[in-house]
Structure 1
């Protein structure tokens, strides 16, 4: 991977800090005041962006569509997916409010559109990027329409195989934004079983397409996100809520504010621990090096001019003298002075002639 994707004031790529998206989604339950509180919680946690969802229910779903099984479990009842989504729909003016709030608070407003009218609304709001949900990875006409807006796209790929992802990526590229794509690996279950997370698929996506790759995390708690960062995720997306006991389809698989803060801090700790990859003593190690490593030390008194034998040497702390790596080079050499037992040897003690 050789490129970066800019979203707002952030560059996304392998040697950049992980871009952390706090996924508010529909966890506002259709209440705009709750949505504003979610923005504040994301800011306080240190997230880079907070993301909502925009849809016109009539444009998104048929009236007869049943709930998915996880939605039945999280809402506590079967029934109409249409009615459930209608109850959490925000209008254009409310999204504008949230975008203004985010701009003032210094966090990037993001949103997932689910149909063309929402794409247009977000373009009018000058959204920094479009996030495409896994439900639309195979929706090629929709992807083509999103791409026509010329803005960066973050593409989730849950429920998709590599061929389907390739078709989606090619559709977006030919639609006009070939250099502004981020791909998210995802397991579209809520919560996602750990043994189905398959983080190695991120490397597959990176090698296949050459774009920055991240992880949309549906595991419980802080979950797999820090592990994803450890193996190269450039973006992490995680659902959060103000209260996991609230009614609604996504609260159960979401973090609460304190957990979101812990996730952000854990990711930053992972990044700090990854370092720059150069193998060398660290600043904290350098003072310890001479105290903890060893020197070549005289096992017994060695007279000036004597040829050094193995019986004359032992390796002991501290490391003020010749390192033990000099052992083979000084065997068979003479010494230039008397060296008392338990003294470490130095370069000037050796007759190099």
Structure 2
């Protein structure tokens, strides 16, 4: 599988600017207007992509499905909740169009074959495989059939689970681009369980771009992951953590997303501009003279004084006799009286030896 690929003409992989995804998930709470407002917010913050979740209750759930967290005041069952989260095909098309007009890549995680068909009609440029869907072979196969990149979340998977699904993806051929996200499915995730070490582990094991899907509600994991070389970052977005919904306490607020995007650009600049240490030192030679030192006297000395080692010291600037020539002036006789508040000069010394 390729070590780099593109999502809507944006390169993803080592050496490229990290691809930041603002995850709305269910923060819109079924409001189409709120969903559109999230698009504008993510664009203003500088995200590369906005991601929703496409749930079709009848296709993915039953009334036997329990709530992960019993949070809803108006939904008797999780099935009812998924139904309330649905948008029509036309509404999804409007969201996709709005996102692209705002300069964002439009993504949405599908949770059924029907959702894949709906999103494929909107020409989503990549597929996010949610943590709970990694072992859903039919869903993965349907995504692979489109030839578009897969973004695989590892949150609920063992290595064996990931190995099996990634082998399935690899069998689809070289065209099957893949990225793997380190993800801890806890809302919010404590810092000690973010798992930054998994970025290196996944990179070595799978040889594909790696990312962090973070639920800590903190900017630090994303920033640290990018500094460590993560190619993708996914964070939940909420207008405020007191908003209604199951994920808002694990989300970033707009100011935090803006900071992550600012860090993305700064870190990419720093990582892609290797330093020519010697060249930089040469370019700073003029400034360096202000900070380095030259030979000077500890105390004023009269003409004819024979210089001894303990009479010498080093003072700024570094424009006079360098320390490396110190021994050559020990034992020399002063040709004139020399004060201690200026640098020594070669013509302060009598010609020849002592």
TM range (shorter): 0.7 to 0.9
TM-score after normalising by structure 1: 0.83
Correspondences of 1:278-293 after superposition (within 5 Å): 278=275, 280=277, 281=280, 288-293=287-292
**Could you say which residue in structure 2 is the equivalent of 1:61?**
61
Unaligned runs of 5+ in 2: none
For 2:150 and 2:88, how far apart are their aligned partners in 1?
Answer: 22
**Could you say which residue in structure 2 is the equivalent of 1:34?**
34
| SS at 2:258 equivalent | helix
Alpha carbons of 1:287 and 1:136: their partners in 2 closer, same or farther (altered >3 Å)?
A: farther
For 2:282 and 2:103, how far apart are their aligned partners in 1?
Answer: 34
Correspondences of 1:309-328 after superposition (within 5 Å): 314-321=313-320, 326=324
Contact 1:5–1:179 (CA under 8 A) maintained in structure 2: no
Larger radius of gyration: 2
**Could you say which residue in structure 1 is the equivalent of 2:109?**
112
Contact 1:21–1:47 (CA under 8 A) maintained in structure 2: yes
**Could you say which residue in structure 2 is the equivalent of 1:12?**
12
**Could you say which residue in structure 2 is the equivalent of 1:143?**
140
**Could you say which residue in structure 1 is the equivalent of 2:51?**
51
For 2:159 and 2:271, how far apart are their aligned partners in 1?
Answer: 29
More deviation in 227-236 or 81-90? 81-90
For 2:132 and 2:8, how far apart are their aligned partners in 1?
Answer: 25
> Which one of 161, 175, 183 corresponds to residue 164 of structure 1?
161
| SS at 2:250 equivalent | coil
Q: After superposition, what is the alpha-carbon deviation per residue over 1:51-82, rounded to whole angstroms, capped at 9, x for unaligned?
A: 111121122223211111xx22x547996322
Q: After superposition, what is the alpha-carbon deviation per residue over 1:15-39, rounded to whole angstroms, capped at 9, x for unaligned?
A: 2111111111121111111111110
2:256 paired with 1:259? yes
More deviation in 237-246 or 184-193? 237-246
> Which one of 247, 250, 257 corresponds to residue 250 of structure 1?
247
For 1:177 and 1:332, how far apart are their aligned partners in 2?
Answer: 69
**Could you say which residue in structure 1 is the equivalent of 2:89?**
92
Contact 1:133–1:156 (CA under 8 A) maintained in structure 2: yes
For 2:308 and 2:4, how far apart are their aligned partners in 1?
Answer: 59
More deviation in 133-142 or 201-210? 133-142
| SS at 1:37 equivalent | helix
| SS at 2:171 equivalent | helix
- How far the C-alpha of 1:289 sits from its partner, in A, is 2.3
2:175 paired with 1:202? no
Contact 2:127–2:150 (CA under 8 A) maintained in structure 1: yes
Alpha carbons of 1:273 and 1:315: their partners in 2 closer, same or farther (altered >3 Å)?
A: farther
Q: After superposition, what is the alpha-carbon deviation per residue over 1:186-221, rounded to whole angstroms, capped at 9, x for unaligned?
A: 111111111111111111001111111110010023
For 1:187 and 1:45, how far apart are their aligned partners in 2?
Answer: 24
Contact 1:185–1:216 (CA under 8 A) maintained in structure 2: yes
Unaligned runs of 5+ in 1: none
RMSD: 3.5
Alpha carbons of 1:177 and 1:243: their partners in 2 closer, same or farther (altered >3 Å)?
A: farther
TM-score after normalising by structure 2: 0.82
**Could you say which residue in structure 1 is the equivalent of 2:238?**
241
For 2:197 and 2:21, how far apart are their aligned partners in 1?
Answer: 21
2:181 paired with 1:184? yes
- How far the C-alpha of 1:273 sits from its partner, in A, is 4.9
Number of aligned pairs?
A: 340
| SS at 2:40 equivalent | helix
Alpha carbons of 1:185 and 1:284: their partners in 2 closer, same or farther (altered >3 Å)?
A: farther
Alpha carbons of 1:62 and 1:319: their partners in 2 closer, same or farther (altered >3 Å)?
A: farther
Alpha carbons of 1:290 and 1:102: their partners in 2 closer, same or farther (altered >3 Å)?
A: same
